[in-house]
Amino acid sequence: MRLVVLGATGSIGRQTLEVAKALGIRVVGISVHTRVDAALKIAREFGIEVVAVTGLECVKPTALENVKLVTGERTVEQLVKLTAPDTVVVAVPGIAGLDAVLQAYPYVRRLCLANKESVVVGGRYLKRLLRDAGVEVLPVDSEHSAVLQLLEAARPVKVILTASGGALRDLSLEELENATVSQVLAHPNWQMGAKVTVDSATMVNKGLELFEAMWFFNLAPHQVDAAICRDSFVHAAVVFEDGVVKFHAGFPDMRVPIAYALTKPDRRWKGRVPELVGRSITFEPVPFDRYPAFALAKEILRERDTLKVGYCVADEVAVDAFLKGKIRFGEIYRMIEKVVESVEAADLDSWEEIEEALEATQRISKDVMRRWK
Ligand SMILES: NC(=O)c1ccc[n+]([C@@H]2O[C@H](COP(=O)([O-])OP(=O)(O)OC[C@H]3O[C@@H](n4cnc5c(N)ncnc54)[C@H](OP(=O)(O)O)[C@@H]3O)[C@@H](O)[C@H]2O)c1
């Protein structure tokens, strides 16, 4: 297998490289946004042919022989054209993930998607493109990988994704409002990039994952839900018509779903096997007062596409503002709500419509941000 990893210096990117090394998979290309030195270190270690730098216009020529650096326009497309991979892992955060998918998909057979914003924003349009191009798309998110492994020929009645509740799950509602960046970034079960860790604390992440589950498995809004499983031991449950509920469980370790996405239908990763005796499994309902952004996502599931785009874009702007100390933690949700309320509801079927919706919601989000307080 020839593998390209987009976002190779991130949490998922690094774990993908580790899995590739353990399984003897050849990594031929990587992308990073700005961290060229870290990229070149990876290139040296893995004998990588091409390194794409997506966030800089130009970079100094590398002293590394046999490594080509690409920058500028359509960097990801240049990377996949030059390396001709079979499989691409998309581990780029946020809405930028959609552009990465659109540039990469025509050149690959299998896309392993860690990024969820791409499917929320790309929606039906992206699904059609990938289907027509015959690209196999597999989820890297642990919950969706779990669902994929649980499904069978019979249609499920419901899919339940689990949530840890994030770093702030035990704070009082007053403390929650003013939680600091360092409190938010201390996730109890997973080591992840900043955006997805903040999204985990607000549970915007679980909201996006409900959309993602509908997208991957052709489910209706009433067929997806989430429950809190504090230790993330269960990743997802699938309910069938005869009353049978199948759980997917194991220690939280992203290398497991990454390896599954890379090697499906094989199961080649050697993981730690849990002791089941004496272990209890508890599902708690998601408290909407603590996670209003999740409650909002559940409402939007039933709404038209532009509201989903608004939810994604507003969250990206608000999380950035929170990480820069411009707004309080509690204000992330209120900003998202304000933007979603201001978006004109419409469905999106073409790239032009998606682009227009992205531009409009970015404009609204910036406007809301400017006038905040
Ligand atoms: N981490 C997890 O456990 C986890 C689990 C499930 C799903 N996911 C999803 O996987 C994706 C990646 O998450 P992560 O935690 O690995 O993120 P991360 O640690 O922040 O890593 C981001 C990677 O993408 C690059 N990057 C940053 N901004 C970019 C942009 N605008 N355009 C292109 N590349 C960019 C970074 O390059 P530089 O280093 O040069 O900045 C880095 O290589 C997210 O969509 C997240 O929701 C993550």
Residue ranges per structural domain of the chain: 2-139, 142-252+275-298, 303-373
pLDDT at 61: 72
Is residue 196 in contact with ligand 1, taking CB distance under 6 Å?
yes
| C-alpha of residue 7 to centroid of ligand 1, in Å | 6
Host H or E run for residue 363: helix 351-370
Structure tokens at 321: 């503002």
* pLDDT band with cut points at 50, 70 and 90 for residue 355: very high
- Residue of 33, 203, 211, 232 with the most ligand 1 atoms within 8 Å of its CB, for mutation: 33
| Domain 2-139: top CATH class | alpha beta
Rounded mean pLDDT of 352-358? 98
Rounded distance, CA 168 to CA 300, Å? Answer: 24
Is residue 214 in contact with ligand 1, taking CB distance under 6 Å?
no
Portion of the chain with pLDDT greater than 90, in percent: 93
Is residue 198 in contact with ligand 1, taking CB distance under 6 Å?
no
Q: Indicate the SS3 state at residue 31.
A: strand
**Tens-place pLDDT, residues 31-67:** 999 999 999 999 999 999 999 999 998 887 776 778 9
4 within 8 A of 32, measured Cβ to Cβ: no
| C-alpha of residue 91 to centroid of ligand 1, in Å | 5
Rounded mean pLDDT of 92-110? 97
Evaluate whether 2-139 and 303-373 have a shared fold. Answer: no
Residue 176: exposure state from Cβ atoms within 10 A (0-12, 13-18, ≥19): buried
For 20, 39, 41, 46, 83, the CA distances from 50, given in Å and listed in that order, are 17, 10, 13, 11, 7
| Domain 303-373: top CATH class | mainly alpha
Is residue 257 in contact with ligand 1, taking CB distance under 6 Å?
no
pLDDT at 280: 95
Rounded distance, CA 78 to CA 171, Å? Answer: 47
Is residue 208 in contact with ligand 1, taking CB distance under 6 Å?
no
46-60, 120-134, 257-271, 283-297: lowest mean pLDDT where?
46-60
Max Cα-Cα span within the chain: 63
**Tens-place pLDDT, residues 185-233:** 987 777 899 999 999 999 999 999 999 999 999 999 999 999 999 999 9
Is residue 254 in contact with ligand 1, taking CB distance under 6 Å?
yes
* pLDDT exceeds cutoff 90 at 366: yes
Ligand 1 atom at minimal distance to the Cα of residue 33: 40
Is residue 237 in contact with ligand 1, taking CB distance under 6 Å?
no
8 within 8 A of 31, measured Cβ to Cβ: yes
Q: DSSP letters of 74-116? A: THHHHHHHHH--SEEEE---TTHHHHHHHHHGGG-SEEEE--S
Rounded mean pLDDT of 143-148? 98
Rounded mean pLDDT of 133-152? 98
* pLDDT band with cut points at 50, 70 and 90 for residue 139: very high
- Residue of 196, 358, 362 with the most ligand 1 atoms within 8 Å of its CB, for mutation: 196
- Residue of 4, 9, 12 with the most ligand 1 atoms within 8 Å of its CB, for mutation: 12
First to last CA, the chain: 53
pLDDT at 189: 78
| C-alpha of residue 239 to centroid of ligand 1, in Å | 32
pLDDT at 167: 85
Compute and round to an integer the Cα radius of gyration of the chain.
Answer: 20
- Residue of 4, 5, 6, 11 with the most ligand 1 atoms within 8 Å of its CB, for mutation: 11
Rounded mean pLDDT of 160-182? 93
Is residue 7 in contact with ligand 1, taking CB distance under 6 Å?
yes
* pLDDT exceeds cutoff 90 at 372: no
- Per the rule left: phi > 0, alpha: psi between -120 and 50, beta: everything else, 31 is beta
| C-alpha of residue 314 to centroid of ligand 1, in Å | 18
Rounded distance, CA 91 to CA 129, Å? Answer: 20
Instruction: Round the average pLDDT of the chain to a whole number and report it.
Output: 96
159 within 8 A of 238, measured Cβ to Cβ: yes
Rounded mean pLDDT of 148-167? 95
177-191, 289-303, 339-353: lowest mean pLDDT where?
177-191
- Please give the sequence-ordered ranges of beta strands (E in DSSP) within the chain, or none if there are none: 2-6, 26-32, 50-53, 68-70, 87-90, 110-113, 136-139, 158-163, 224-228, 234-239, 245-249
